[in-house]
Amino acid sequence: MEKLDSRYLERLSELYPTIADASTEIINLNSILNLPKGTEHFITDIHGEYEAFSHVLRNGSGAVRKKINEVYGRTLPERDIRELATLIYYPSEKIELVK
C-alpha cells in the first residue's frame, strides 16, 4: 500500500510542485463543487408522448437555447439562432434536410 501511496504523491508533486499550486487547485475544485447544479430530469413512463418528451430531453429543458442566446444572441439574427438550435437538437434530421 505504501508503494501505491508514494506513486500517487509523486504524481501529485509533478502536477502541483508548490504548496501554492496545490492550494490553488484545492480552492478551484471546491469552487466547482459549490456551483449550482444543472437541470435535472426525472423520467417517468409517459404513454404516447414520445415526441414531446424527446424534444425536452434534446433541448435540455431550454438550457441549450439559453446558452446559444448567451453566446450568439447579439451577433446572429433570430432565424439563424433557431436553425442552430434545431441542428443541435436534431443533428441527423437537420443534416438530411441540408443535403
From residue 91, alpha-carbon distances to 6, 77, 83, 87 in Å are 47, 20, 11, 5
Q: What is the tens place of the pLDDT at every residue in 43-82?
A: 776 677 888 888 888 888 888 999 999 999 999 999 999 9
Task: Report the pLDDT value the prediction gives residue 40, as an integer from 0 to 100.
Answer: 74
Assessment of whether the complete model's pTM goes beyond 0.75? no
Can you spell out the DSSP letters for 34-76? TSPP---------TT-HHHHHHHHHTGGGHHHHHHHHHHTTTS
Task: Report the pLDDT value the prediction gives residue 6, as an integer from 0 to 100.
Answer: 86
Q: What is the tens place of the pLDDT at every residue in 11-53?
A: 999 999 999 999 999 999 999 999 888 777 677 766 778 888 8
- Cα–Cα distance for residue pair 49/53, rounded to 1 Å: 6
